[in-house]
A and B are shown apart, each in its own frame.
Chain A
Amino acid sequence: ENVLTQSPAIMSASLGEKVTMSCRASSSVNYMYWYQQKSDASPKLWIYYTSNLAPGVPARFSGSGSGNSYSLTISSMEGEDAATYYCQQFTSSPYTFGGGTKLEIK
Chain B
Amino acid sequence: EVKLLESGGGLVQPGGSLKLSCAASGFDFSRYWMSWVRQAPGKGLEWIGEINPDSSTINYTPSLKDKFIISRDNAKNTLYLQMSKVRSEDTALYYCARPLYGNYGGFAYWGQGTLVTVSA
* Residues in chain B near residue A96, CB distance under 8 A: 47
The reply to whether A90 and B106 contact each other, CB–CB distance below 8 Å, is: yes
Which of A10-18, A20-28, A41-49, A75-83 is the contact stretch? Answer: A41-49
25 A-B residue pairs with Cβ-Cβ distance under 8 Å, sorted by A, are: A33-B106, A35-B45, A35-B107, A42-B95, A42-B112, A43-B110, A45-B100, A45-B106, A48-B108, A54-B108, A86-B45, A88-B47, A88-B106, A88-B107, A90-B106, A93-B50, A93-B59, A94-B49, A94-B59, A94-B60, A95-B35, A96-B47, A97-B47, A99-B44, A100-B45
Residue from A37, A44, A93, A100 with most neighbouring chain B CB atoms (10 Å): A93
Q: Does B53 contact A (CB under 8 A)?
A: no
- Of all chain A residues, the one with the shortest Cβ separation from B4 is A42
* Residues in chain A near residue B26, CB distance under 8 A: none
Question: Closest CB-CB distance, A65 to chain B, in whole Å?
Answer: 15
- Of the four ranges (under 10, 10 to 19, 20 to 34, 35 or more), the interface on chain A belongs to 20 to 34
Contact mask for chain B residues 45-70; partner A; CB cutoff 8 A; 1 contact, 0 none: 11101100000000111100000000
Contact mask for chain B residues 20-38; partner A; CB cutoff 8 A; 1 contact, 0 none: 0000000000000001000
The reply to whether A43 and B62 contact each other, CB–CB distance below 8 Å, is: no
A100-B44, A100-B45 known; 13 other A-B pairs, CB under 8 Å? A35-B107, A42-B113, A45-B106, A45-B107, A49-B105, A49-B106, A86-B44, A86-B45, A88-B47, A93-B50, A94-B60, A94-B62, A99-B44
- Of the four ranges (under 10, 10 to 19, 20 to 34, 35 or more), the interface on chain B belongs to 20 to 34
**CA–CA, A97 and B110, complex, Å:** 15
Contact of B44 among A1, A44, A54, A98 (CB under 8 A): A98
Question: Closest CB-CB distance, B24 to chain A, in whole Å?
Answer: 15
- Of all chain A residues, the one with the shortest Cβ separation from B110 is A42
Given A42-B95, A97-B44, residue A48 in contact with residue B100 (CB < 8 A): yes
